[in-house]
């Protein structure tokens, strides 16, 4: 069994338990070991791109270092994935930052980006393989038209995240095909839902998430899937739309027979 370090992040322990629980159960069924490091800290939610602020990078570096002994670091939440991958990318190219972080953390040697980071979708594509996943599906989502919502944080900036084509991605659509569904392509699939602006400017979050929802509806989707708790929140609470919104791990577990079939 291949073993990876698994970083859930703050929200998967609280409001997004489904995203977490079905990710763990599905990994086990697919023969992937996930080990949660002790005493992990919140990633911060947003990456601070400043070249001269080591403090905002420390949590991500601690997490990256915790994964050194395994085959890589797996994240599920889009925000954790974004913060940790951007930290990993920048620290491998900014020696002064790496040295400052080394001093803050009291490390014997500087961490310079050695850990390989996988989003859970990348784990499915690159380690498990979508063909192997397809072979393990016992409950295919036949006839379901599913709109994959990438949002902003899964793909951008692409030079750091290196996950997929940032303007014409296919990883979630290929995932949908592997679990037996029919992917729906729509214009707003990689545009922002409004994110954290919902806290102090609800109207803007409503505007953004409505645009995403209407775009998916107009292309005939039955449902939307996401990897991000904040996207799920905005699409459910702020979009005013009618489509159900699920975490991609819920459909994965359903397809693998690990979850009761939802009858929406």
Partner 1 sequence: MNKNEKDWIDITSGVNVRKCMRCGKCSATCPSYDEMEYHPHQFVYMVEKGDIEPLLNSVSLYKCLTCFACVERCPRGVEPAKVIEAVRLTAVRKQGNNHLLPDQIPDMLDDDLPQQAIVTAFRKYTK
* In the complex, minimum distance from the CB of residue 234 to partner 1, in angstroms, rounded to a whole number: 9
Query: What's the CA gap between 238 and 205, in Å, rounded?
Result: 7
- Residue where the block lists tokens 């599920």: 76
For the chain, what is the largest distance between any 2 Cα atoms, rounded to a whole number of angstroms? 56
Cβ of residue 113: shortest distance to partner 1, in angstroms?
17
How far apart are alpha carbons 38 and 131 in whole angstroms? 34
| Pick 14 or 262: Cβ nearer partner 1 | 14
The nearer residue to partner 1, 56 or 139, going by C-beta atoms, is 56
Q: What's the start-to-end Cα distance of the chain, in Å?
A: 36
Question: Between 183 and 229, whose beta carbon lies closer to partner 1?
Answer: 229
Burial class (CB in 10 A: 0-12, 13-18, 19+), 260: exposed
Min dist CB 177 to partner 1, Å, is 26
Question: Please, what is the minimum distance in Å from the beta carbon of residue 46 to partner 1?
Answer: 5
State which residue, 48 or 132, has the beta carbon closest to partner 1: 48
- Least distance CB 11 / partner 1 (angstroms): 4
Chain residues binding partner 1 by CB under 8 A are 9-11, 14-16, 42, 44-53, 56, 77, 79, 151-153, 155-158, 166-167, 191-192, 194-201, 204, 208, 228-230, 232-233, 236-237
CB distance 184 to 216 below 8 Å: yes
Measuring CA to CA, which residue among 194, 192, 251 is closest to residue 222?
Answer: 251
Min dist CB 17 to partner 1, Å, is 11
Distance CA 257, CA 162 (A): 31
Nearer to partner 1, 35 or 211 (CB): 211
β-partners of residue 33 are: 3
Rounded to a whole number of angstroms, the minimum distance from the CB of residue 19 to partner 1 is: 10
Nearest Cα to Cα of residue 131 among 83, 182, 175, 190 = 175
Sign of the Cα torsion 241, 225, 250, 16 reads negative
DSSP conformation class of 148: E
Residue closer to partner 1, measured from CB, 116 or 236: 236
Question: Residue 48 or residue 218: which is nearer to partner 1 going by CB?
Answer: 48
Where residue 208 falls (left for φ over 0; alpha for ψ -120 to 50; beta otherwise) is alpha
């Amino acid at each position: 069994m291949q073993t990876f370090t698994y970083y859930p992040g703050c929200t998967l322990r609280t409001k997004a338990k489904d995203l977490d629980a079905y990710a763990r159960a599905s990994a086990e069924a697919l023969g992937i070991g996930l080990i949660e490091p002790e005493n992990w800290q919140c990633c911060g939610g947003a990456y601070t791109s400043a070249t001269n602020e080591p403090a905002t990078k420390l949590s991500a570096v601690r997490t990256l270092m915790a994964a050194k002994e395994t085959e890589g670091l797996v994240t599920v939440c889009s925000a954790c994935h974004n913060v940790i991958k951007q930290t990993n990318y920048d620290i491998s190219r900014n020696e002064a930052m790496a040295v400052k972080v080394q001093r803050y953390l009291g490390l014997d040697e500087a961490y310079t980006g050695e850990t390989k980071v996988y989003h859970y979708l990348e784990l499915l594509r690159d380690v498990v393989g979508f063909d192997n996943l397809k072979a393990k599906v016992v409950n295919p989502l036949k006839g379901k038209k599913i709109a994959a919502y990438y949002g902003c944080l899964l793909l951008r900036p692409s030079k750091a995240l290196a996950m997929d084509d940032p303007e014409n991605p296919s990883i979630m659509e290929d995932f949908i095909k592997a679990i037996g569904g029919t992917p729906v392509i729509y214009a707003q699939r990689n545009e922002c839902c409004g994110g954290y602006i919902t806290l102090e400017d609800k109207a803007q979050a409503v505007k953004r998430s409505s645009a995403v929802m209407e775009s998916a509806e107009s292309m005939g989707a039955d449902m939307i899937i996401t990897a991000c708790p904040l996207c799920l929140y905005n699409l459910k609470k702020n979009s005013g739309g009618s489509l159900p919104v699920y975490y991609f791990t819920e459909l994965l577990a359903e397809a693998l027979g690990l979850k009761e079939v939802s009858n929406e």
